Structure 1
Amino acid sequence: MRSKMIHVKIDRPIGYTDLTHHVPYPINYGFIPGVIGGDGELQDVYIISNFITQPISVFEGKVIAIIHREDDVEEKWVATTPEEMFTKKQIKDRVNFMEQYFNSNIEMI
């Protein structure tokens, strides 16, 4: 997959608390309407940005990585603003609040 612009609907904004792991979300997280992921649900996306530090309801940006979960049926996409870029380590640090519960690896795009 090449990096492309996507439209994300945020359903877990900054501050949302995960009901399974009881972890608050430090970043915005959502899905891409109309795109089905490996779990048969809408494709999930982590939004990482140094510019977006508050809860949002929608996001338009670029996909910069895919997180492959070896112990789960789905992948998570990572997106940011058109102006930003992050390293694999920076992405890992930003999504670790949730990915710590899975055996996952990051593929940069």
Structure 2
Amino acid sequence: MKKIKVIVDRPIGYKDEFGNIYPINYGYIEGIMAGDGEEQDAYILGENKPLDCFEGFLIAYVRRRDDNEDKWVVSNFTFSVSEIKEQINFIEQYFDSYIELCESSE
């Protein structure tokens, strides 16, 4: 599996303009463009301290039915759909989305 580097712009503890505090690291993948014309957004699972950047494996996609801003989920560990959903629920509860696990290519 190829490693993916995520630049973290909203680390654990980040407070957004709506007052939400991020319980996981969240950022973007340089050089990979998403459907919204911005660099691809990504959640980082399994790292419990604020990060500036992270290299890990793509483990899942968060597919949004209502727009083209799918998110990627990156980690060095394996998570079930329910575990991923629990960790990303702070944002994804506002969207019509579903989680698609990646097939391991090891």
Q: Same fold by TM-score, threshold 0.5 exceeded?
A: yes
Distance in 2 separating the partners of 1:43 and 1:72: 14
* 1:43-70 alpha-carbon deviations (Å, 9 max, x no partner): 0000000xx2110101000010000111
Provide the C-alpha distance between the structure 2 equivalents of 1:13 and 1:53, rounded to a whole number of angstroms: 10
Alignment length (residue pairs): 102
| Distance (whole Å) between structure 1 residues aligned to residue 58 and residue 64 of structure 2 | 17
- The more displaced of 30-39 and 3-12 is 3-12
Deviations 1:50-96 (A, max 9, x none): xx211010100001000011112210000101xx1000000000000
Equivalent position amino acid for 1:68 in 2: R
Question: Within 1, Cα distance between the matches of 2:82 and 2:16?
Answer: 23
Long gaps (5+) in structure 2 = none
Q: 1:101 aligns with which of 90, 94, 98?
A: 94
* Alpha-carbon separation, structure 2, partners of 1:39 and 1:7: 20
**Deviation above 4 Å: which 4+ runs of structure 1?**
none
% of aligned pairs identical?
Answer: 50
**1:33 match:** 30
- After TM superposition, the score normalised by the length of structure 1 is 0.89
* Residue of structure 2 aligned with 1:92, choices 82, 85, 99: 85
Q: CA RMSD in A?
A: 1.0
The answer for the alignment partner of 2:53 in structure 1 is: 58
Q: Shift of residue 23 of structure 1?
A: 1.0
Aligned counterpart, 2:72: 77
| TM-score, length-scaled by structure 2 | 0.92
Map 1:40-51; keep pairs closer than 5 Å.
Answer: 40-49=37-46
